Structure formats: C-alpha cells, structure tokens
Chain A
Amino acid sequence: MFPANFGYAAPRSVDEALQLLSKHGEEAKLLAGGHSLIPAMKLRLSSPRTLIDLGAVPGLRGVRLDGNTLAIGALTVHADVGSSDLVRKHLPGLAEAASVIGDVQVRNRGTIGGSVAHADPAADFPVILTALNATFVLQSTGGSRTVTADKFFVDYFTTAMEPNEILTEIIVPLPPAGTGTAYAKLAHPASGYVVVSAGAMITRQPSGSCTAARITIGGLGSGPVRAVASETELQGKALNAQNIAAAAAKAAEETDPDGDIYAGADYKRHMATVLARRAIEAAVKRAVT
C-alpha cells in the first residue's frame, strides 16, 4: 500500500512551518511521528496535497519543569514520555498511559502531540491528559493561545484546533500534595487500541477523605468523557474500598457507547466501571500525604 502523491516540505522552525501552513491551507497536513497519519494515507483515508514534516523543527521535543507545571514538547515520542524521570515522579498516571500505547516500535516513533491532534477516540493520551487537566498550546501566525483538555476534544478525530494552528506543547499542572494519578486500560488484543480505559487524579486529605477527583473514561464515545457522577460521588468521602466502588459504579453514566464486533455496549459500560475502580484505587495508593 502506498499513499497518494503529495508535495513535501521540511521546515526548520515553527515560524517557517506556520508560513507553509497558511500558504497551503486545508490541503496541507502536519506530519509529526506519522503513526496515525501515514497508515491513514496508505489506506487513502487521507490524501493531503502537501505534507509539512515537523521532524526537523528544533525545540518541540522533551519534558521540562516550568514553574508548577510539566511542559511536554509536542514531538516527544511516547517512549520518552513514559521513561521521563520528571513524568514518572510527578505524573505516574501519564507514564503508565504512555507505556501501554501500541507496541515498542510505535512508542519509539509516535508523538504525544500527534496523538492528541489526531484525537482518535481509541487513543490513550486524550483520556489521561483530560484527567490531568492538561492545557494545549496552539501557535499560529497570529500568536499563540491555550485550550484546556476539557474543551479541546470536540468530536471523533476533531479538536478545537484551527487549520492554521500548530500544537507545540502540552502543559500539565503538577498535582498538589496528596494527589495520585493513574491510568487503567483494556486494550484490543489485535490492534492495541483502547477498548475502554480510565484515567484518574485523586487528592486526599491526611484524614483520608477525598478533596478533589477528576475521572475520565475513554472508548465509550467520540473522545474522553468526564465521569462527573463518579467525581461527585467521591467528593468529601473517605477513600475506602466501598466508597471507591460506589463511585466507580457510576463511571458509565454519562455514556452511550456503540457495541462492536469485539465488545458489546453493555460489556463496555461494565468495563468502564471496573477500569474506573482500578484507576481510582491506584491513584489513591499514590496519593501520599
């Protein structure tokens, strides 16, 4: 299988890439690691006239501490997110998600920015990044703006990005003391994509009660879904097994999934409650006060 013909450009800076993007408009696509785009092009699901390869643009890779946030370059590959000391120390849930994407070879090449911008409803990063309340930095020739994860994932393969914008950085706030993060996934055995997954960020007081909870579910809709009923259920409660199970039982309330050949809708909703419980339990264990 081969992609249709296209023109190719390898800009050396974000500014150069932005100029190319505004010149070619919606007929152009940005290429990062290419692990979503190239398969889509080979299947002729996507046939851009021009590819703007960001691979040679400096400054878009790596994880750095920036005040009370971690700033992750959009071109950082999954393997480097998962093995980053900063990520493992401050956001173990994000490291966990990065290390279960696809397989080793995919993680060596696919990028966090590419995954986020592609917004596949069966992708891992959108789910955990929404739980972690991440913010996305979008640059255009007119300047830059930020969009929170809650507003970024709009629909299937659709984000709040404008066609003239480049996602350059993902900003994740460092969780306050007493907060744990975790990710739990049921992977499709053939593709490795998400069947159902859950992300959790839980803050506990020294007394053991929950002061803040963000819980997200993936695989049950057009993108990550906040499990608001679960979050509300946990608020102020003691983080014991019974209360966690009660909250997790509500994880699928906001969802109306479609069944498919591998997993029926009821099974998916049930797995959402199981994975939410696992993610909350793991996050609580890490929420050392």
Chain B
Amino acid sequence: MTAEPENTAIPIKVTVNGVKHEAVVEPRTLLVYFLREQLALTGTHVGCDTSQCGACTIHLNGRAVKSCTILAVQANGKEITTIEGLARGDAFHPVQEGFREKHGLQCGYCTPGMIMTAAHLLETNPDPSEEEIKHALEGNLCRCTGYVNIVESVKWAAQKMGGKNVSR
C-alpha cells in the first residue's frame, strides 16, 4: 500500500452503536469530531482536547478510550459505543440510572465520559471497591467537583447489577 498524498480523504467503515457507517474522512480528523460532526452524535463531549479530562470517552472495541486522541482513520473496521448507544430503548444502563438516583451530575458536561468509563469498569470489575472506582475514574475530570456523588452513582450501579456483567 502506498501512502496517500497529504490531505487525501480516506474511506473508512465503522460500526457505531450497532449501526454500520461508511464515510470518507481527512486523515487528520479526530474520532471525536467524526462522531460529533459527521454522525451528529453530540453526546460525546470535547472538554480539554488534550487527553486529560475524559469528557470524550467512548468504547472502541469494548474498551474505554479518549476519542480526542484517536484519529478517525484508526477506528476503521472497529466497533464503537458512545453514550447514545448505552441505553436499550427506554431502559437506561444501570450506570445511567445510578447517576440519576445518586445525583451524579451537576452541570452534566463530564457525565457522558464518566458514564462510559464507569460502564467499562463494571464490565471488567463488576464488584469494585471505592478505591478501585476512584482509580478507574482517574482519567475523568468534573469541573463542578461533584466526585463524591459520582462515586456513589457507580457504587449504586454495581449493586444494581449484582456483581454481574450486563449483557450489552
């Protein structure tokens, strides 16, 4: 394969929230802008834009990653879940319910990223300690500093899920 000349748009195929998309992107397009601007999935937020704050967290092939630090072309052939794909119809994901029940959000800006990271945590560690929850959320910043209730929300979700993985 020869390298495309500078700025040549590249065709990609991705599955986002179960829907297959074919698109053409500039190589320099960041995944978060592809999701927000080309697919109009604006639930994924751009916060710091420097891979610190975690507001742009999505699942790429099942793993929580920061979509501001991934090129859209790198997602070619992969499966993506965004905050919009977490609920099943009217049924919220337990982590989403937890944030509602335990007042895990104030302004809401960091919430999609927090929920995506927490959902990934509970998939890999269904019964985390408070310490493990805090460690897992290290890469997500809340500008309202509402961390206490965020941790409570994740605990609530873990309890609701009863130590079991929710089949997505």
A interface residues (Cβ-Cβ under 8 A, vs B): 1-12, 16, 20, 23-24, 28, 31, 34-35, 38-39, 41-42, 49-53, 55-56, 79, 102-106, 108-109, 190-192
Contact = CB atoms under 8 A, between A and B. Distances in A.
Given A8-B10, A53-B74, A192-B138, A104 B5 contact: no
Contacts of A109: 60, 63, 65-66, 69-70
8 contacts: A7-B5, A8-B8, A23-B2, A104-B121, A105-B65, A105-B117, A106-B51, A190-B52
Given A34-B71, A103-B139, A192-B138, A9 B6 contact: no
Given A5-B6, A104-B120, A108-B64, 5 more contacts: A8-B27, A20-B3, A79-B63, A105-B139, A108-B65
A7 B6 contact: yes
B159 to A, nearest CB: 21
A8 B24 CA distance: 13
A7 B10 CA distance: 10
Given A5-B7, A7-B7, A8-B10, A39 B1 contact: no
Interface of B: 1-8, 10, 26-28, 30, 49-52, 54, 57, 60, 63-66, 69-71, 73-74, 76-77, 117, 120-121, 136, 138-140
A17 to B, nearest CB: 9
A41 B65 CA distance: 18
B138 A34 contact: no
Nearest to B26: A5
A244 B26 CA distance: 56
A105 B77 CA distance: 20
A16 B51 CA distance: 31
A38 B71 contact: yes
A38 B70 contact: yes
A28 B4 CA distance: 12
A39 B8 contact: no
A80 to B, nearest CB: 10
B51 A39 contact: yes
Contacts of B140: 103
B57 A105 contact: yes
A53 B10 CA distance: 13
A4 B5 CA distance: 13
Given A4-B28, A108-B65, A9 B4 contact: yes
